[in-house]
A and B are shown apart, each in its own frame.
Chain A
Amino acid sequence: MIYLLLFWNFFKIGLFTFGGGYAMIPLIRETVVGMGWLDEETLLNFIGISEATPGAFAINVATFVGYSQAGVLGSIVATLGVVMPSFIVISSIMLFFNKKSKNTMVEGAFKGVLPVICALICATGVSLLLKVTVLINGGFVFDYRAVIVAATVIAVLFGYKKIFNKKMSAYLVMIISAALGMIAFSI
């Protein structure tokens, strides 16, 4: 039963996300936290870990959640679920459409979804950030150390962009956040 749930939910995740990586986070969060599979803390931890590991985020999450719920078989089922929609859609496209004209239709649909994806990502990011700094466990708690770490990370992000003129790699952000965390929360 759990296998079916895993497969189906990750199939939905694989099906409803366009645009890669972070676009999936809102839906993943809703599914995974909603089903009681992970709490938001663990999910955030995992996002951090994913930045340091190879592979697509969706696959990483599927493997991880699948394993946590139903062992190795669970991870296999979840991972298969998340890649199935891609496989089916792409195979169909390759089978039937070999003309470039089909792209414009798909492109148009994508352009319509983009603002939604953007909004979802922003909303998710902000609510998660608030939850780890000032809204811990539902109540208003001013964790000043968390706020300081957050402010530092943001400052570093901006500073890096100013100085080096390119975006900081996610991997680097994670390393710095981890280091800051180690310092701030061990004292």
Chain B
Amino acid sequence: MLFSAFFKIGLFTFGGGYAMIALMEREIVEKKGWIDKTELMRIVAISELTPGPVSVNAATAIGYKMCKIKGSIFALLGVVMPSFMIILAISLFLNEFMTYPLVAAAFKGVRIGASILICSVGIGMLNKIGNSVYEKLLRFVDCAFAHRNYSRYSVFAR
């Protein structure tokens, strides 16, 4: 029961964690009535602050609320399964796919688009973060370090 609900959620969300949360709200709060909206919001807040993808965290939390550890396991499996299966399928065929020159050309464009997307996410975050001088300096230093692949250490330093 939990598994199928989360499987559906895992399957139908494209484009990132927050879309999944909206879907969760519709399915779990409105349709199934397992938890109410405020509870969902609280769980989402916790899910954002804890390590790991938001969707995985939220699914585990809601699953736990419903059926303790067993529930969290099933919900987790449910939300992970769709992407797991799809990516596995893609992996099987990807290399062969890439031998077509048109596909290879398309992916060259995709690489450019993806890197630009990453930049835009980063720049978007720049605007959201507080603007104190300290933070700007921090960012500059971190950028320099990150470029030299010390990212692991700078996360630790926080």
Q: Footprint of B on A, CB under 8 Å?
A: 14-22, 25-27, 30, 34, 41, 44-45, 47-49, 51-60, 63-64, 67-68, 72, 75, 79, 82-83, 85-87, 89-91, 93-95, 100, 103, 106-107, 109-110, 112-129, 131-133, 146, 149-150, 153-154, 157, 167, 169-171, 173-174, 176-182, 184-186
Given contacts A85-B52, A170-B16, 10 further A-B contacts (CB under 8 A): A16-B51, A60-B87, A64-B90, A82-B52, A103-B46, A118-B129, A119-B142, A125-B119, A128-B118, A181-B105
> Complex formed: what's the CA distance from A162 to B73 in Å?
44
Out of A79, A94, A153, name the residue touching B84 (CB < 8 Å). A79
> Complex formed: what's the CA distance from A14 to B80 in Å?
14
Contacts of A114 in B (CB 8 A): 125, 129
Out of A17, A55, A72, name the residue touching B83 (CB < 8 Å). A55
Q: Footprint of A on B, CB under 8 Å?
A: 10-17, 20, 42, 45-57, 60-61, 64-65, 69, 72-73, 76, 79-80, 82-84, 86-88, 90-92, 94, 101-102, 104-126, 129, 135, 138-143, 146-147, 149, 151-152, 154-155, 157-158
Contacts of B122 in A (CB 8 A): 22, 118-119, 121-126
Out of A22, A72, A109, A179, name the residue touching B118 (CB < 8 Å). A22
Contacts of A53 in B (CB 8 A): 14, 83, 86-87, 90
**Nearest CB on B from A25, distance (A):** 6
> Complex formed: what's the CA distance from A116 to B134 in Å?
12
Contact indicator B46/A106 (Cβ below 8 Å): yes
Which of A57, A177, A185 lies at the interface centre, i.e. has the most chain B CB atoms within 10 A of its CB?
A177
A-B contact pairs, 18 of them (CB 8 A): A27-B151, A53-B14, A56-B20, A56-B53, A63-B83, A63-B91, A89-B52, A106-B46, A106-B49, A119-B139, A120-B142, A120-B143, A133-B112, A149-B112, A169-B15, A177-B113, A181-B107, A186-B102
